[in-house]
Amino acid sequence: MSSLKKIVIGLLLFFIAVFFMIRSYFSDVQINKYPDRETVIKEQGIEKGWVPALLPASAYDIAETHDLDKNELFGSFYYKEKDEAALLKKLSSVPDMNATYQWGDYLFHIDTEKNRVKYRNRPNN
């Protein structure tokens, strides 16, 4: 292989690597973690639409990841058992989706054994 080809290939690989580093640096993906509901309210996570407003008062270890470019949102939280019945009452079951519930623009999967909720925004159809 000639040295000119090696230089061209090296430059090409360099620019590809730089492209992906810049793209990831300027990505609109953000991850937020909150210890409790009060912190979510203080940091306006509900108001911004990153955390559902039906968040139980006992919610803790709240985490959410949102990507503004793709309009994707994923999150989770734990809750104390005393809030489980009230939480489930606000949700409606999604037909044809195993153990999935909906409320507003969110979809939920609830693990009642671990008192854990995973949620995401509803995909655009």
| Residue 88: how many other CB atoms lie within 10 Å | 13
Query: Per the domain annotation, does 18 fall within a domain?
Result: no
Residue 17 lies in a domain: no
5 is a domain residue: no
Residue 71 domain flag: yes
Domain containing residue 45: 28-121
**pLDDT tens across 32-91, in order?**
999 999 999 999 999 999 999 999 999 999 999 998 778 899 999 999 999 999 999 999
Answer yes or no: is 56 within a domain.
Answer: yes
* Residue 79: Cβ within 10 Å count: 22
pTM: 0.75
Residue 26's pLDDT is what? Answer: 63
- Is the model's pLDDT at 12 over the cut of 90? no
CB 62 within 8 A of CB 71: no
Task: For the beta carbon of residue 69, count every other beta carbon within 10 angstroms.
Answer: 9
Residue 21 lies in a domain: no
Q: How many domains does the chain have?
A: 1
Question: Do the domain assignments include residue 117?
Answer: yes
| Amino acid of residue 18 | V
Q: How far apart are CA 121 and CA 49, in angstroms?
A: 9
Tell me: pLDDT of 124 over 90: no
Structure tokens at 32: 């937020």
| The pLDDT of residue 92 is above 90 | yes
Structural domain includes residue 81: yes
